[in-house]
Amino acid sequence: MTEDTKRLKLLANTIRQDIITMLTEAKSGHPAGSLGLSDVFAALYFFTLKHDPKKPDWPDRDRFVLSNGHVCPVLYASLACAGYFPKEMLMTLRKLGSPLQGHPHRGALPGIENSSGPLGQGISQAVGMALVAKREARTWCVYSVMGDGEMNEGQVWEALLLAAKYKLNNLVAIIDRNNIQIDGTTDDVLPLEPFADKFHAFGWNAIEIDGNNMEAVLEALKAAKAETTKPTAIIAKTVSGKGVSFMEGKFEWHGKTPNPEQAAQAIKELNDARTALEAAP
Amino acid sequence: MTHPLKLVPDPFAPNIQKKSSRDGFGKALVELGERDKNVWAISADVSESSRTHWFAEKFPARFVQVGVAEQNMAGVAAGVAACGKTVFISAFGAFSPGRNFDQIRVSICYNDVPVKIHASHTGLAVGPDGASHQMLEDVAMMRALPNMVVLVPADMEQAKKATHAAATIKTPVYIRTSRENAPVFTTPDTPFTIGKANVYRDGKDVAIFACGMQVYEALKAAEELKQENIDAAVIDMHTIKPIDRAAIVSYAKKCGVLVSVEDHQIDGGLGSAMAEVLAEGWPAVLKRAGVAGTFGESGTCAELFSKYGVDSAGIVKAAKEAIHMKEVLKSYEVFP
């Protein structure tokens, strides 16, 4: 394990603990997808993204566009961890008057590039942002995280076509391939396979990885950055609820929060994992 | 006819210039493009019809062709606007905002980014293409959205001004134009301020509030009413949101009888907006002329305006009905 990977794995562990704590306090929200994506977010916010939490409006920053807004706990936890706002604010999630809305609201908090919630809309905005950079020879890249259930939306495929047309190699879509959506598995609700082939057919580069393997995530992000002719889709196969044994792979936890006992159990498991990680070479 | 708002000298001259309001939009868009390099335009495969092609030819680096994909158009526009651009998206009203309401609501209005939504084919004026393309519910949808400004220019000159004005404000704006060539009765000197109605003709018996191509029809109707000794005011409601409450209330006080006329459903459009102001502001009789809960159909623009009562004859009829209603209510001592 390199210095970087160990650091990022520890950050992912911190993000997971914050997700559990904030959702337990909020008593509503979406833990499964948030936990599953924690490794990807640690990689993005603490390795890949060119950003400055002290200057959230820095014109040449990389843009991060969350398309499946319901996993915002992982975004809020990552932003707080990076220093965009004080960590105590996480405990206001979903409460009246809080800038941490149940789904993200642009302008409410530093670091939030787009409002989201209704699926399929983030990727179009990401395409617009990447297009501006491309047309004006700016250096920023655009990263968008999407859900696999979100790929049911027709708008997504409109956006994919346009990104390929304009050869947006500065655009990276990371699809959370956890095979879970609200009414069941994605295979049952609306099958997506052969998934990577669809991206290839739409003129995209596609990389399939284990989205909970930090080394694999970093490698995929580096490969996407090196792409020179087309946009890249990173199909990140994740385990929903990752890091909390009783949540892992269970779609019941898509939109349900833990009670205080379950939260204590989850934090204990995450702390054990952290101790093991710290002890590792 | 002369008046302070500097209309053309004779709006009813047979040789009055006829142009579409979409042309006004397209010309203003080019002027904006020349003036400001941060102005972008996006089309969903209808750039000529919606008059963004002039901009596209001149500024290809700031033009985006998204194909027949109005949902993506709204989202891409929001992304471009989030990078500091003022973005005009154009299509037929039936498709934008007809098909992409959710994207306009969340990606544009909730994000509060300066995307200007231009619909070039709207209302019965679309004509022979028939009901599917005759967008009659767009103003109702756009008017309900937070942060949105809704403009319905009356002619080509006013469409130019509306487009320029839209670019000067930071909020989302909906601009509803038409492809039908219609008399250009305003001039470059006619004032235009968002939210401020233009009174083209004062009157004491009935006040006709109109938007879009119906403003000209209302001016004609007022001339016809004059022959019958009915003194009608004509007010151009180019801005549906924010609505000019003061103009409505002042004519409610002055005439007590108002008519709204629009190439749109009477539920949700100008007529509804006026009814809301009157109910909360100053009770008066209001007769709403427009499409009353039905789809349109194929026909020429003139035939349809006549059939659905939004041409000058329909407005004359509505005005007389409104005046009659006032008399009836007076006899019951409902109104003074």
Cβ within 8 Å, pair A121-B81: no
User: In the predicted model, is pLDDT for residue B2 greater than 60?
Assistant: no
> pLDDT value at position B168?
97
Beta bridge partners of A106: A109
* Contact residues on chain A for B82, CB-CB shorter than 8 A: 106, 113-114, 125, 128-129
* Contact residues on chain B for A129, CB-CB shorter than 8 A: 79-80, 82-83
Chain pair A-B, CB pairs under 8 angstroms? 98
Question: Tens digits of per-residue pLDDT, A53-105?
Answer: 999 999 999 999 999 999 999 999 999 999 999 999 999 999 999 999 999 99
Cβ within 8 Å, pair A118-B106: yes
Q: How far apart are CA A274 and CA B188, in angstroms?
A: 71
**A118 in B contact zone (CB under 8 Å):** yes
Cβ within 8 Å, pair A121-B106: yes
- Asked if B154 and B186 touch (Cβ cutoff 8 Å), the reply is yes
Question: Tens digits of per-residue pLDDT, A29-67?
Answer: 999 999 999 999 999 999 999 999 999 999 999 999 999
* Contact residues on chain A for B111, CB-CB shorter than 8 A: 106-107, 114-115, 125
pTM (2 d.p.) = 0.96
User: In the predicted model, is pLDDT for residue B1 greater than 70?
Assistant: no
Question: Tens digits of per-residue pLDDT, B238-255?
Answer: 999 999 999 999 999 999
Q: Residues B296-322: what's their mean pLDDT? A: 98
**A106 in B contact zone (CB under 8 Å):** yes
From A117's Cα to the closest Cα of chain B, the distance in A is: 8
- Of B21, B187, B111, the residue nearest A121 (C-alpha): B111
In this prediction, residue A1 has a pLDDT band, given cuts at 50, 70 and 90, of confident
In this complex, which of B76, B81, B83 lies closest to A124 when CB atoms are compared?
Answer: B76
Domain of A81, CATH number, reads 3.40.50.970
- Its ipTM equals 0.96
* A window 45-64, beta carbon within 8 A of B: 59
Instruction: Sort A138 into a burial class: Cβ within 10 Å, 0-12 / 13-18 / 19+.
Output: middle
Q: Write out the residues of chain B at the interface with chain A, using a CB-CB cutoff of 8 A.
A: 61-62, 64, 66-67, 69, 71-72, 74-85, 102-103, 106-107, 110-112
Q: What is the DSSP string of A26-76?
A: HS-S-HHHHHHTHHHHHHIIIII----TT-TT-TTSPEEEESSGGGHHHHH
Q: Residues B111-120: what's their mean pLDDT? A: 98
Closest-approach residue (CA) in chain A for B41: A128
Q: How far apart are CA A273 and CA A136, in angstroms?
A: 46
Spell out the residues 6+ positions from residue B24 whose beta carbon is closer than 8 angstroms to its own.
B153, B155, B156, B157, B158, B159, B160, B162, B163, B177
- Asked if B150 and B139 touch (Cβ cutoff 8 Å), the reply is yes
For B241, list phi and psi in degrees, rounded to 5. -145, 125
Q: What integer best gives the mean pLDDT of chain A?
A: 96
From B166's Cα to the closest Cα of chain A, the distance in A is: 21
CATH of domain B198-331: 3.40.50.920
Q: How far apart are CA A272 and CA B120, in angstroms?
A: 62
- Asked if B26 and B54 touch (Cβ cutoff 8 Å), the reply is yes
Cβ within 8 Å, pair B72-A125: no
Domain span at residue A218 reads 3-279
Spell out the residues 6+ positions from residue B334 whose beta carbon is closer than 8 angstroms to its own.
none
- Asked if A215 and A199 touch (Cβ cutoff 8 Å), the reply is no
Question: Tens digits of per-residue pLDDT, A115-126?
Answer: 999 999 999 999
Domain boundaries, chain B: 18-183, 198-331
In this complex, which of B64, B74, B82 lies closest to A129 when CB atoms are compared?
Answer: B82
The pLDDT > 90 percentage for chain A reads 94
Residue with tokens 């609700």: A189
Query: Inter-axis angle of helices A154-165 and B70-81, to 10 degrees?
Result: 60
* Contact residues on chain A for B172, CB-CB shorter than 8 A: none
- Of B176, B60, B161, the residue nearest B117 (C-alpha): B176
From A137's Cα to the closest Cα of chain B, the distance in A is: 11
Spell out the residues 6+ positions from residue A255 whose beta carbon is closer than 8 angstroms to its own.
A28, A29, A30, A70, A182
Question: Angle at Cα A85 formed by Cα A84 and Cα A86, nearest 5°?
Answer: 140
- Asked if B130 and B109 touch (Cβ cutoff 8 Å), the reply is no
In this prediction, residue B330 has a pLDDT band, given cuts at 50, 70 and 90, of confident
Q: How many domains is chain A built from?
A: 1
Cβ within 8 Å, pair A124-B75: yes
Same fold, B18-183 and B198-331: yes
Copy the structure tokens of residue B219: 């001016």
Q: How far apart are CA A273 and CA B264, in angstroms?
A: 63
Query: Which residues of B are catalytic, by number?
Result: 70
CATH architecture of B18-183: 3-Layer(aba) Sandwich (3.40)
Spell out the residues 6+ positions from residue A270 whose beta carbon is closer than 8 angstroms to its own.
A13, A16, A17, A20, A243, A244
- Asked if A279 and A72 touch (Cβ cutoff 8 Å), the reply is no
From B275's Cα to the closest Cα of chain A, the distance in A is: 33
Residue with tokens 């026909």: B299
**A66 in B contact zone (CB under 8 Å):** no
Question: Tens digits of per-residue pLDDT, A241-264?
Answer: 999 999 999 888 989 999 999 999
> pLDDT value at position B3?
65
Closest-approach residue (CA) in chain B for A61: B83
| Three-class secondary structure of residue B88 per DSSP | strand
**A148 in B contact zone (CB under 8 Å):** no
Cβ within 8 Å, pair A125-B66: no
Provide the residue type at B147 as one letter: N
> pLDDT value at position B336?
62
